[in-house]
Amino acid sequence: MAWPHADDDLPKRQPRRRAMLGGALGLLLASGPAGAQPVKVRLGTATPGGGFPVYGAAFVEGVRRFDPALEIEAINTKGSTENVPMLEAGTLDIALVQGEVVHAALQGVGRAPADLRVLTAMYPTAGMFVVRADSPYRTIADLKGKPVAWGAGGSGLVILGRYAMDGLGLDAARDFQPIYLERAGDGPAMVLDGRVAALWGGGNGWPGFMTMARSQDGARFIAPDGDEIRRILAKHPFLKPVTQPAGSFPGQATAIPSVGSWSFVLARPGLDETAAYRIVKALHALQQASNPPPQLVDTTAANTVAVVPGREKLHPGAARFYREIGLLT
């Protein structure tokens, strides 16, 4: 194809054009994968005020930094229990799902097994209660019969609470006065003004716990003791021992052992392999660049391969990338 203008000017124009093209290519390589096609992906999170929307915002920004052509739209939902059927229906492309809901969906507990795949592990969640620092309640037994905010109705944290209490021979709906929230962010105010005795939750930096810990009244955490942890794990072995490290929340001076599970980013059936590959590749680049946002410190390729509930559950695009970096054979 001829350059515009006179052909006799071509020799003088070519070096300049090569320099311009080289500069443009350098910008492209710096901002994302060369030749990457724009792709839009819908990400389901949860209700405002909970941990999933905060994680989702960090996830979107982290991927955008290393693959700007991959546009991820975060969508607030009712949480894990709504995200799974929305993935199955194809109204979401990927979604954040609490570990207990992942277990039920992929293993077919109370339903047919879901044809969903894991993109990446998110983080481990240690389930526990938070009360005001001046509260008289110090054990789970102390909370029996008391009003407890278990979280938003569609949240996977509610499911974790049910399993944990069931492991102790308790029914979360009958042995307490259960309150289910319209918005996850409403829980701390209910504890602080005395409408509920405790709020159940979990996760490093979980907003409900952060709000309580930063409040003028301060906060104290109630988790299963050693014997209670053993009883819960004996009845529900898919749960795991999870410890909340000291300093996770203001004023939390010691580590808190509890039970919980890993949450995952799941993908709908048929999500394009290249899109999945690009997402996990961008997340890995974020980790390699060091100083990832605090919400994503556990969202690593190594953690994903270590805790995925069966490697056949990995999305083919994710598995391809993990093979490239030597984590899978």
pLDDT over 80 (residue 311): yes
Q: From the centroid of its chain, how far is CA 158?
A: 15
pLDDT tens digits, 132-158: 999 999 999 999 999 999 998 888 899
Instruction: Please check the confidence at residue 6 and state whether its pLDDT lies above 50.
Output: no
Residue 34 binned pLDDT confidence (cut-offs 50, 70, 90):
low
Question: Strands 117-132, 256-267: parallel, antiparallel or unpaired by DSSP?
Answer: antiparallel
Provide the residue type at 142 as one letter.
D
Domains, in order of start, for the chain:
39-124+263-324 (3.40.190.10), 125-260 (3.40.190.10)
Q: What is the pLDDT of residues 48-63, one digit of tens each?
A: 988 999 999 999 999 9
Q: What is the pTM of this model?
A: 0.81
- With CA atoms as reference, report the closest residue to 304 among 170, 140, 124, 88: 124
Q: What pairs with residue 306 in β-bridges?
A: none
Instruction: Say how far apart CA 59 and CA 102 lie, in whole Å.
Output: 19
Q: What is the mean pLDDT of residues 177-184?
A: 93
Beta bridge partners of 240: 260
Across all residues in the chain, what is the average pLDDT?
89
pLDDT at 21 over 50: no
Q: What is the pLDDT of residue 265?
A: 98
pLDDT at site 33: 59
